Amino acid sequence: MADREVGQLYSAARAVLFPIFNFLWDFHFSGIEHVPPDGPAIFCPNHTSVLDSFFLPLALPRRITYVGKAEYLDDWKTRKLFPALGMIPIDRSGGDASERALDAATRLIEAGEYFGIYPEGTRSRTGQLFRGHTGPARLALRTGAPLIPVGIRGSREVMPPEAKAPNLFRPVSIRIGKPIRTARYAGRSDDHLVLREITDELMYEIRCLSDQEYIDRYATRSDRALVVAHTAHVNPGPPLASSEFPAAATA
């Protein structure tokens, strides 16, 4: 997919959708001071809801481009819309298609843009935080851009797994952590131990921001079957309360 096709509708979507989102849900932002006002950055959120890619941009002053499942392009309703809103499709089966998506991401980052990627590689169906893949670390070493850990809380309650419609007027917290810089590892982007060290540091910071239970294995599609069991046996804790977070920032 040509780079020029990515993000064509972002400005229009922001102008239309963001005021609606701010009315429908109670957003609370913290760590805004960690967002670089200019230059590139790689934002790395946890991922528990299909709405996460729409919620994080509320906290950012500039456009962010994400990678997303190539399967979205199989549906006529999303084939043009998602890339126009800023999604680069990635084939998670690997091979040349995945590398082309990462090459496109590299070009955007090197052009000074924000980029978003979910280190877990897929949405957590159970609400737990799973082991991170090394793609974000590889991009950081390739481009020199900082990794920005992000913890999103409340989005799963807004749009639970398998839900047909979102729950309205729920609180959502977006916590942005301190940038992780990788200059000390320059030239070692093919060293798996380095990639794993950076990734584990990133996942630790995300866990601190999201307050999720950490599971030291990769998330898989089979985790869908664990949702009911996990909900029945794990106490998710009290719901988010507005008093837990600082006042919302203006996006």
Among the listed residues 189, 136, 178, 152, the one whose alpha carbon sits nearest the alpha carbon of residue 55 = 152
Q: Is residue 181 part of a domain?
A: yes
Tokens of 43: 């934002």
* CATH code, domain with 165: 3.40.1130.10
Considering the domain boundaries, does residue 35 fall inside one? yes
What is the predicted pLDDT for the residue at 237?
Answer: 44
Domain count, the chain: 1
- Is pLDDT larger for residue 222 or for residue 65? 65
Angle at 65 between CA 88 and CA 168, to 5 degrees: 105
Q: Can you read off the two tokens belonging to residue 220?
A: 């898989």
One-letter amino acid identity for 154?
G
Torsion sign over Cα 53, 31, 150, 175: negative
Domain assignment of residue 2, yes or no: no
Predicted pLDDT at 13:
83
Residue among 234, 32, 24, 29 at smallest CA distance from 128: 234
Domain limits for position 80: 24-234
pLDDT tens for residues 118-170?
999 899 999 999 999 999 999 999 999 999 999 999 999 999 998 999 999 99
Asked whether residue 215 is domain-assigned, the answer is yes
Average pLDDT, rounded, for the chain: 84
Q: Are 16 and 87 in contact (CB under 8 A)?
A: no
**Residue 116: what residue type?**
G
- Number of helices (H), then strands (E), in the chain: 8, 9
End-to-end CA distance of the chain: 29
Q: Is 13 inside any structural domain?
A: no
pLDDT higher than threshold 60 for residue 229: no
